[in-house]
């Protein structure tokens, strides 16, 4: 079984992006700017955001994190987004999810200028993605597509099962796989007989968030396993796939940690730099 090392690939991509930015800095006249808004004190969010901050600095992006109190009002959060929309030094705005439950997530995401929406969560961007004319795709699914391509894993004609139907991962993942001509099934918590469905899958992307949920004996020999789950068990991080025994059935799998997570961050850098390139009128976009 090949271990799909997202950490190594992400470092490589981030280094290439840093060079890409460096070479265009004088033409652009200013560095790329990314602002990350975090409301409340979700521990997992804090960890992700610190990684995003470090990665941004290394890629030559001017990063800013606004740590906001859990009790922030909807209007105050919207006002901060409006200010960033108007700030010419900012190319990317990311509101870390989940938001405290008192806040209206849809209204917040709708307030972000679609031109600065580096998550691709604004309805005009997610709608465009589903019509195959998207400008930006959500970071986790796009990072997974890059990881598959880097390992020459062909999805055309394959049966891909995406387990999970969130706006962040499952739905855009299904669309990106469809654009590469996979036959896609979206499974979720109400799916009856998931083991039977998975037995015909050539590629499984799991974004369920339950440690060791997907059993190797459910899977088809040769399957490629992409694990988006990040679950803490006894202080360790584990994915959604039961790792033990997986090597006997899968041809390739992403580890947790060190698989999908780092690719998400590298893709956020990519999306921010692509947005900067557009805003500064550069004549190309990073690959």
Q: Give yes or no for a contact between 69 and 10, defined as CB atoms under 8 angstroms apart.
A: no
Nearest to 28 by CA among 281, 216, 286, 199: 281
- Identify whether 215 is a catalytic site residue: no
Q: Which of 91, 117, 119, 227 is catalytic?
A: 119
Cα diameter, the chain: 57
- Identify whether 119 is a catalytic site residue: yes
Q: Which of 93, 94, 103, 142 binds ligand GUN (CB under 6 A)?
A: 94
Site string for ligand GUN, 118-147 (x = CB under 6 A): -x-------------------xx-------
**Residues between 254 and 273 that touch ligand GUN (CB under 6 A):** 264
CA distance 55 to 262: 10
- The CA–CA distances, whole Å, from 123 to 110, 118, 227 equal 7, 13, 26
Q: Which of 96, 116, 158, 240 is catalytic?
A: 96
Q: How far is the CB of 267 from ligand GUN (least distance, A)?
A: 9
Q: How far is the CB of 44 from ligand GUN (least distance, A)?
A: 8
**Residues between 53 and 72 that touch ligand GUN (CB under 6 A):** none
- Identify whether 96 is a catalytic site residue: yes
The pairing of strands 223-227 and 250-253 is parallel
Only one of the segments 81-89, 90-98, 182-190, 243-251 lies at the binding site for ligand GUN (rule: CB under 6 A); that segment is: 90-98
Q: Give yes or no for a contact between 260 and 147, defined as CB atoms under 8 angstroms apart.
A: yes
Site string for ligand GUN, 151-170 (x = CB under 6 A): -----------------x--
**Residues between 207 and 236 that touch ligand GUN (CB under 6 A):** none
DSSP 49-85: HHHHHHHHHHTT-EEEEEEE-TT--HHHHHHHHHHHH
Q: How far is the CB of 195 from ligand GUN (least distance, A)?
A: 27
CA distance 78 to 100: 14
For binding to ligand GUN (CB under 6 A), which residues are involved? 94-97, 119, 139-140, 168, 264
Q: What amino acid positions are annotated as catalytic residues?
A: 52, 96, 119
């Amino acid at each position: 079984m090949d271990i799909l090392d997202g950490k190594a690939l992400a470092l490589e991509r981030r280094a290439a992006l840093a060079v890409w930015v460096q070479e265009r800095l004088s033409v652009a006249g200013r560095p790329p700017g990314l602002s990350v808004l975090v409301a409340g004190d979700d521990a997992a969010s804090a960890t992700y955001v610190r990684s995003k901050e470090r990665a941004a600095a290394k890629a030559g992006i001017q990063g800013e994190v606004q740590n906001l109190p859990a009790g922030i009002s909807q209007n105050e959060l919207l006002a901060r987004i409006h200010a960033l929309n108007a700030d010419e030094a900012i190319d990317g705005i990311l509101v870390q999810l989940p938001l405290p439950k008192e806040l209206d997530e849809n209204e917040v995401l709708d307030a972000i200028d679609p031109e600065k929406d580096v998550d691709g969560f604004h309805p005009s961007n997610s709608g465009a993605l589903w019509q195959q004319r998207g400008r930006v795709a959500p970071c986790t699914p796009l990072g997974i597509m890059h990881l598959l391509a880097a390992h020459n894993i062909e999805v055309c004609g394959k049966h891909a099962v995406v387990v999970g139907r969130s706006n962040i991962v499952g739905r855009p993942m299904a669309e990106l796989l469809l654009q590469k001509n996979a036959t896609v099934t979206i499974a979720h918590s109400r799916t009856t007989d998931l083991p039977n469905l998975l037995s015909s899958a050539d590629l499984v992307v799991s974004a369920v968030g339950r440690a060791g949920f997907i059993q190797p004996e459910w899977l088809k020999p040769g399957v490629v396993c992409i694990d988006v789950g990040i679950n803490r068990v006894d202080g360790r991080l584990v994915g959604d796939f039961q790792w033990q025994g997986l090597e006997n059935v899968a041809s390739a799998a992403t580890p947790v940690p060190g698989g999908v997570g780092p690719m998400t961050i590298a893709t956020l850098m990519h999306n921010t730099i692509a947005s900067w390139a557009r805003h500064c009128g550069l004549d190309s976009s990073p690959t």
